[in-house]
Amino acid sequence: MTTPNQKTQLSTWFSHLQERICAALECLEEEVDELAPGRFCRKTWKRKDASAPDGGGGTMALMKGRVFEKAGVNVSTVYGEFPPQFAKEIPGAAEDPRFWASGISLVIHPLNPFVPAVHMNTRHIVTSQCWFGGGVDLTPTFEFEQDTADFHQAFRTACDTHDPTYYPRFKAWCDEYFYLPHRQEPRGIGGIFYDNLTSGDTLEGFEKDFAFTRDVGEAFLTIYPNLVRRHMKKPWTEEEKQKQLLKRARYVEFNLLYDRGTRFGLNTGGNVDAILMSLPPLASWA
């Protein structure tokens, strides 16, 4: 099982990644001329758990900038006991409801409708079992072939370094997961999605999966700023902005109707502001 030392490594990695991502996005804010560049505001929060005086907590970093209309980058390390009705749904929790979980989660809604929105999340969960999960997916309003190809390539490389089966499985899983059945349309152009990933409950297994998790973060940190730079200075029309607002409405529909993390968090008394930080600054159902 995940040791105290490994838990520290995990939560430290997620926090460092948060800082590096925030710095990279603030850098992009410097690269356009109008208005003052956006800066992240950080807010720490403590989780309330009926079963224990200390349930962990997290740090939300939120920026409302001139490149990023809304960017939320959250880390959290939480622990306690799952409520009985949810314990049943979680691997290894039916036997013992105690859990420990640490992760990073971000959603970025750019101002410019030509810059794609993005989501990234990686996490480690410990019950009587332990595993990694995560995903990255891109949601352009206007699709650019080169962006799509480069985005997929970045995560293909991150996957292939660790296991040749990862990329095809995790890409297909992403397409399946980020899909709006009532609209019969995908949320965006996909990426990767994985859950219950474990290469064995051994030191080697942990090291392998943690290294993959880190590479997913590194790939994000490399590819996304590149995609932003390609489009962030393009002018846009009212009509193009309106298309973005309609696309964002689909994002809201997905997150509130289908996203397991969102529904789970809201149903288990998670931090509402952190959970709903993914929702766009402005959306339209015209």
Minimum CB distance to a second copy, residue 249 (Å) = 7
191 torsion bin: left (phi>0), alpha (psi -120 to 50), beta (else):
left
Q: Which of 35, 36, 50, 286 binds a second copy (CB under 8 A)?
A: 286
Nearer to a second copy, 215 or 253 (CB): 253
The answer to the question of residue 198 lying near a second copy (CB under 8 A) is no
Q: State the Cα–Cα distance between residues 179 and 182, nearest whole angstrom.
A: 9
Nearer to a second copy, 124 or 250 (CB): 250
Q: Which of 24, 32, 94, 256 binds a second copy (CB under 8 A)?
A: 256
DSSP string across 47-68: --BTTBS--EEEEEEEE--SSE
Segment 90 to 149, residues that bind a second copy, using CB under 8 A: none
Secondary structure of residue 240 in the 3-state scheme: helix
Which H or E element spans position 261?
helix 260-267
Q: State the Cα–Cα distance between residues 210 and 207, nearest whole angstrom.
A: 5
Tokens 């290294």 — which residue? 211
Q: Which of 156, 162, 252, 264 binds a second copy (CB under 8 A)?
A: 252
Which H or E element spans position 148?
helix 145-160
Q: Taken in order 207, 208, 209, 215, is the CA torsion positive or negative?
A: positive
Minimum CB distance to a second copy, residue 285 (Å) = 4
Residue 119 is a catalytic residue: yes
Secondary structure of residue 7 in the 3-state scheme: helix
Q: Which of 15, 253, 261, 264 binds a second copy (CB under 8 A)?
A: 253
The answer to the question of residue 285 lying near a second copy (CB under 8 A) is yes
How far, CA to CA in Å, does 8 sit from each of 16, 59, 82? 12, 16, 22
Nearer to a second copy, 152 or 247 (CB): 247
Q: Which residues of 215-240 are buried (b: 16+ CB within 10 A; e: fewer)?
A: bbbebbbebbbebbebbbeeebeeee
Segment 6 to 35, residues that bind a second copy, using CB under 8 A: none
Q: Which of 183, 229, 234, 260 binds a second copy (CB under 8 A)?
A: 183
Nearer to a second copy, 77 or 278 (CB): 278
Q: Which of 7, 64, 162, 169 binds a second copy (CB under 8 A)?
A: 64
The answer to the question of residue 260 lying near a second copy (CB under 8 A) is no
Tell how far CA 204 is from the center of its chain.
Answer: 26
The answer to the question of residue 246 lying near a second copy (CB under 8 A) is no
Nearer to a second copy, 47 or 70 (CB): 70
| Binding site residues, a second copy, CB under 8 A | 64, 70, 181-183, 245, 249, 252-253, 256-257, 263, 266, 272, 276, 279-286
Residues assigned a catalytic role: 119
